[in-house]
Amino acid sequence: MNRFLVLNAAALLAVVALVGCKKKEAETATVPPPAATLAIPPPPAGPITMPAPAPSSGMANIVGLELGTAAGADMKIATPTRAFATKDKMIAAVTTRTNDANTTVPAKVGVRWTHADSNQTVNEEVRDLQLKGEQTWDFEITNPEPWPTGNYRAEVLLDGTSVQTRTFTVK
C-alpha cells in the first residue's frame, strides 16, 4: 500500500507540475508583443526661420471719413453733413495714411452703404489701391429714384475689415 501511495503522490505531483507549466505557457502566449516604437528625428540644428509676412493693412490706416454732397479737387468734402435729401448724391471721402510716407502699400479700400432701418445693403464698392502717405478717396452713390427716407450708415472697409462707420439720415 505504501507503494500505491507513493505512485499516487508521484502522479499527483506530475499532474500539478504539468498544469503549472501549461498555465505559464498560456499566460506567456496571451501577453501582447511590445508596442513598436517610432524613431523621431531630432529637431533641425540652428534657429527656425519663418517666411517674411506679406504686406498687410497694418502698414496703412483709415484716418478720416466725411460725408457730403460735393467734393473739391482734393477729394475732400466741401460741406460735411449727416442729413441728405431724397434726391442727393452721397459722397464718402475716405482719408488713408501709411506708416511710412515714402512706401507704397497695396490695400483694398471700400465703402458699404446700408439702409439701417431695413439692414439692407444699398451699395458696396471696393477698390484695389496703392496707398502712399496721406490720401483722400471719394466713393459716391446716386439713385435715379428718390432715396427712401430713414436712417443709413456708411461703413469703411480696409482689406475686408470694417474700420469706421458714420450714420446719417435721408429726409
Give tens-digit pLDDT for 130-164.
999 999 999 999 999 999 999 999 999 999 999 99
**Contact by Cβ (8 Å): 139, 158:** no
Note whether 74 and 157 are same-domain residues. yes
How many other C-beta atoms are found inside a 10 Å radius of the C-beta of residue 94?
Answer: 26
Note whether 165 and 101 are same-domain residues. yes
Reference 88, options 149, 137, 164; nearest CA is 149
- 43 assigned to some structural domain: no
Note whether 19 and 67 are same-domain residues. no
Query: What is the pLDDT at residue 42?
Result: 52
pLDDT, one tens digit per residue, over 27-79 is 444 554 444 444 444 545 544 443 433 334 459 999 999 999 999 999 999 99
Separation of alpha carbons 104 and 36, rounded Å: 57
Tell if the pTM clears 0.85, that is, is over it: no
- 151 assigned to some structural domain: yes
Mean pLDDT to the nearest integer, 12-16? 48
Which amino acid, 154?
A: A
Note whether 69 and 27 are same-domain residues. no
Note whether 94 and 157 are same-domain residues. yes
- What's the full length of the chain, in residues? 171
Mean pLDDT to the nearest integer, 5-12? 48
For residue 83, the domain's CATH number is 2.60.40.10
Residue whose entry in the numeric block shows the C-alpha cell 465703402:
111
Query: What is the pLDDT at residue 51?
Result: 41
- 20 assigned to some structural domain: yes
- 115 assigned to some structural domain: yes
Q: How many domains does the chain fold into? A: 2
Note whether 9 and 65 are same-domain residues. no
- 120 assigned to some structural domain: yes
- 2 assigned to some structural domain: yes
Note whether 76 and 9 are same-domain residues. no
Note whether 83 and 137 are same-domain residues. yes
Note whether 81 and 117 are same-domain residues. yes
- 78 assigned to some structural domain: yes
**Residue 1, domain extent:** 1-32
- 52 assigned to some structural domain: no
Separation of alpha carbons 155 and 151, rounded Å: 13
Note whether 75 and 20 are same-domain residues. no
Note whether 147 and 97 are same-domain residues. yes
Query: What is the pLDDT at residue 80?
Result: 97
